[in-house]
Amino acid sequence: MRELKNLPNHIAFIVDGNRRWAKKRGLPAIGGHRRAVEEGLDRLVFRAMDLKIKYLTFWVFSTENWKRGKKFSRMLFSLLKEGIQKKAEIYNRKGIRIKIIGDLAGLPKNLQKLLLDWEEKTKDNRKITVVMAINYGGRDEIVRACRRLFDVISREAKDYIGDSLSDKVSGLRMTKERFEENLDTVGMPDPEMIIRTGGERRLSGFLLWQAEYSELYFTDVLFPDFGVEEFDKALEWYGQRKRRFGK
C-alpha cells in the first residue's frame, strides 16, 4: 500500500466508463453498471472508511442520461433498487450514512421511496457519508436552489410590509451563504477532490458551485476497473498538490 498523506475530507466521483467496460467484454451495456453497483462502490466506500475519509459522492445518474432512452433508465433504476435492497442493512450496520441529492421528483415513485427510506434510516450514522447524486445536474441544482431561495424571500417579504425601504432591502439581501443553504449539498463540505474515470477531461456540469477549488483527477481507467490500487494512486497524487485557494 502507498503511504498516503494530506487526505481529503470529501471526494466526489464522476462515474464514467461502465458501458464501454461492458462492450469490451461482449456484455449488455447494463453489465458495466451492474459491476459498479455490486462491487465498484463498495470497495471505494470501505477503503475510504479505512482511511477515515468522511464524505464520498457518486454521480449515479445525470439529468442528461434520460437521453439514453427509457429502456436504459428502467434497467438502471431496477439495478439501483436491487442494489439498495441488498446493501441497505449492511451499510447501516457499518455506520454508513446515505444522503441523496438531485431532483428526486423526476424518478419513479417506488425508487424515490426506497432512496428516502434509506436516507432516513441511516441519518444518525457517522462513520462516513455516502452521497448518491441521482437525476442530478449542476445547472439544474442551481436553478432549483434559486427557486427555493425565491420562495423563501417571497415569504419573508410579506413580513416586511410596513417597514422602511432600507429595512426591507437589508433583510432580503441575497448572499453566498443564503444561496448555499438552498443547494442540495447544504450542510456538506465542498469536495476537495473530484475523480473522473473513463478518460474524459471535463466536469460535464457536476457540482458546478461546489467544485470551485476542487482538485481534478482524470484517469483513463473505466469505473468498473477503478479499484483500491487506483484509488490510492489518486490519493497519492492529491497529497502532493499545493492548494493555495487564490493566494
Compute the half-sphere exposure of residue 45: CA atoms within 13 Å on the CB side of its CA: 24
Catalytic residue among 16, 18, 135, 184: 16
Classified as helix, coil or strand, 74 is: helix
Give the C-alpha separation, 137 to 133, whole Å.
9
Q: Where are the beta strands (DSSP E) in 137-218?
A: 193-196, 215-218
Show the cell assigned to 38: 455490486
Q: Is the CB of residue 54 less than 8 Å from the CB of residue 129?
A: yes
65 is catalytic: yes
Q: List the one residue out of 196, 220, 193, 190 whose CA is nearest residue 14.
A: 196
42 is catalytic: no
Catalytic residue among 9, 42, 65, 232: 65
Could you give the residue ranges of the DSSP H alpha helices within 94-186?
109-121, 138-159, 165-171, 176-180
H/E stretch holding 57 reads: strand 55-62
Strand partners, 100: 132
Show the cell assigned to 235: 490519493
| Active-site residue set | 16, 65
